[in-house]
Amino acid sequence: MPSTTQLDACGRRRSPATMSSFHEGRPPRNKGQRYPADPPTVEEIIAVMHAAGDENDGDAVRLRGLIIVLWRAGLRISEALALSESDLDLHRGAILVRRGKGGKRREVGMDRWAWEQLTPWLQLRAKLPVGALFCVLRGPTAGRQWAPAGVRSQLHHAAARGGVRRRFAPHQLRHAHAVEMSREGVPLLVIQRQLGHYAGDAVKAGRLGGRRARPRGSGRSIPQRAVVSRRSGSGRSGSGR
């Protein structure tokens, strides 16, 4: 039986890699590997920032600025790369996330030390074309949004040069921010708002050492506090049943 050639929308022959059977029978490259959820320590993060490169190198300044935003503001990598220069409010120490997870809009805070570390990149960014905050530095696409794959690649190489002998990914910086806030005694509800989580997320609360609420049928959880009825507006105390 002759084999049929698969064509794309433009009439060109499709690559075999786009077929569902291309990887059939091949084990995944990460099979058997485990990635612990333990966030990096402060010493490891600082070591990666130092190993990023010279202060006069634009790539190094950009990478250090992104590490600061991921670590000290607790943003997701997609949220950080979607920022524009107008989303930063230096006087109030706030960063506006226009479209977070689920399309939700929120404002997060960042400490003064973090703003000082971000300043060199902001000064360099002012000389580039208008666009995303963390953008491409050179070529015809200068000013456009930096690709997540490039971020992960540079973080991986910087961690290797800094002597960090474990996985160093953007999302782990977000975990480090949450754990540090929890150790400082910040209320769980404040941490969840900073990270853009649902108020009753039992799984995320358990990671921070908070009390888990019993999950309901929807898969989400309801915190152990007074629940307000939508119809009558009356309150009833949650019994946790």
pLDDT grade for 79, boundaries at 50, 70 and 90? very high
Number of H helices, E strands in the chain: 8, 5
Amino acid at 35: Y
Residues 202/181, Cβ–Cβ less than 8 Å: no
Q: With 90 as the cut, is the pLDDT of residue 75 above it?
A: yes
- What average pLDDT does the segment 116-121 reach? 94
Q: With 70 as the cut, is the pLDDT of residue 240 above it?
A: no
Instruction: Give pLDDT, residue 159.
Output: 95
- What is the share, in percent, of the chain residues with pLDDT greater than 70? 78
Instruction: Give pLDDT, residue 228.
Output: 37
- What average pLDDT does the segment 137-157 reach? 92
pLDDT grade for 208, boundaries at 50, 70 and 90? low
Amino acid at 207: R
pTM (global) more than 0.95: no
Instruction: Give pLDDT, residue 36.
Output: 66
pLDDT grade for 20, boundaries at 50, 70 and 90? confident
pLDDT grade for 158, boundaries at 50, 70 and 90? very high
State the CATH class of domain 42-177: mainly alpha
Residues 124/143, Cβ–Cβ less than 8 Å: no
Q: What angle do CA 97, 195, 228 make, to 5 degrees?
A: 100
Show the tokens assigned to 57.
């190198």
Helix ranges, the chain (H)? 42-51, 58-72, 77-81, 112-125, 148-161, 170-183, 188-195, 202-207
- Span 215-234, pLDDT tens digits: 333 333 333 333 333 343 44
Instruction: Give pLDDT, residue 207.
Output: 55
Place of tokens 């490259």: 29
Instruction: Give pLDDT, residue 154.
Output: 94
Q: With 50 as the cut, is the pLDDT of residue 165 above it?
A: yes
Local structure of residue 40 (DSSP, 8 states): P
The distance between the two most distant Cα atoms of the chain, rounded to a whole number of Å, is 71
